[in-house]
Amino acid sequence: MPVIRFIFVRFLQAILVTMAVTLFVAFAIRLTGDPVVMMVSEASNVTEEDLARIRESLGLNQPFLMQYFEFVKNLARGDLGDSFFRGPVWDLISVALPATLLLAATSMFVSILVSIPLGIYSAVHKGGLADQMIRVLSLVGLSFPNFWLGIMLVLVFSITFPFFPASGFDGLASLVLPSVTIGIILTATNVRLVRTTMLEILGAQYVMVARAKGLSERKVIYKHALRNGAIALVTFMGLQFGNLIGGLVVVELVFNWPGMGTLSVEAIAQRDYPLLQATVSILAIMIVGVNLAVDLIYGLIDPRIRVS
C-alpha cells in the first residue's frame, strides 16, 4: 500500500516537473524571435498578410498561454503535434529516442563495467601504486571537456587510424566512439565514487565480522561489502542520469548522432516550437522516470527501507 502511494506521489511529481520544464522552454524559445519570418526568409515577395495567414494556420496568433494549453491538452492525449517543417513530431522522436537510449545505455554499461572493479581494487589497495594511478587517471578524465575528447577520439581513431566511423549512425561500429567518449567521462567520476563508498564500507564492523567468520577476502568484498555499497552507488548513478543527458546533447552533436540531443538543437535553431517542446518534455519525463526507478531499486537492495 505505501508503495502504491509512493508511486502515485512520484507520478504527480513527474507531471508537475514536466509541466514546469515545458512551460519554461515554451516561453523561452518564443523570446528568440518569430519562426514564421525564418520560414519565409528565402522566399521573395511575402506580404504582411501572408505572414499573418501562416501564423494563423500554425496557431501562433493565439496568446502564449492558449498555445501552451493547446500543447498540454494534445500531450495528454498522446498527440505531440506536427513539426513546423518536418511532419509529425512523433515520427521524428520514434527514430531519435531509441538512438539516444542506445547510446546512453551503452555508455552507462561501459562505465559501470570499468569503474566498479577499478574502484574496488583502488579501495582495497588504498595508497598503493595502482590506487595512485587510478586516482590520477580519473582526475585527468574528469578534466577533459566532452566535446574536445570526442574530437580527439575522432582524430585518432577514425582519421589517423580509420577503425571507426567518425560520425552518423551506421551499424554498431559507429556506436564505439561516442559511447567511449561519454563512458570515459562517466567512469572518471564513478571510479572515485566506488572507491570512497567501498573505503567507507570496508571500515564497517560487519566487514570485520565477515572476515572473523573465516570468509575469503573475495567473498567479504564482493558479497558483504559490495551489496551494501550498491545502495549508495545506485542512488548516485540515478542522479547522474540527468548529467548524462546533458552530456549526450553535446556528444551527439560532435558525432552527428541522430538522437534527441541533435533533434533538440535543430529544433532550437529553426525555432520549431512543437518539436522542441516535445523533445524537452520527453527528456524531462525520462529523468523523472529514472529517478523513480532508482528509488524502487533502492528498496529492493536495502531491506531497511523496504516497506512491510
Residues that bind another protein (CB under 8 A): 1-2, 5, 204-206, 208-216, 224, 227-228, 231, 301-304
Report DSSP letters for 94-153, one per residue. Answer: HHHHHHHHHHHHHHHHHHHHHHHHHHHHHHHTTTSHHHHHHHHHHHHHHHS-HHHHHHHH
Residue 65 or 208: the one with the smaller Cβ distance to another protein is 208
Residue 139 or 204: the one with the smaller Cβ distance to another protein is 204
Identity of the residue numbered 204: A
CB of 227 to another protein, least distance (A): 5
CB of 134 to another protein, least distance (A): 20
Residue 12 or 101: the one with the smaller Cβ distance to another protein is 12
CB of 196 to another protein, least distance (A): 18
CB of 271 to another protein, least distance (A): 45
Listed as own residue / partner, the contacts of 284-289 with beta carbons closer than 8 Å and 24 or more positions apart are 284/17, 284/18, 284/21, 284/22, 285/14, 285/18, 286/245, 287/241, 287/242, 287/245, 288/10, 288/13, 288/14, 288/17, 288/18, 289/14
Cα–Cα distance measured from residue 45 to residue 198, given in angstroms and rounded to the nearest whole number: 69
CB of 1 to another protein, least distance (A): 8
Residue 225 or 276: the one with the smaller Cβ distance to another protein is 225
Residue 47 or 205: the one with the smaller Cβ distance to another protein is 205
Output DSSP code: residue 220.
I
CB of 4 to another protein, least distance (A): 9
Residue 70 or 217: the one with the smaller Cβ distance to another protein is 217
Helix, strand, coil percentages (3-state) for the chain, rounded to 5, are 80, 0, 20
Cα–Cα distance measured from residue 82 to residue 70, given in angstroms and rounded to the nearest whole number: 13
Cα–Cα distance measured from residue 183 to residue 106, given in angstroms and rounded to the nearest whole number: 8
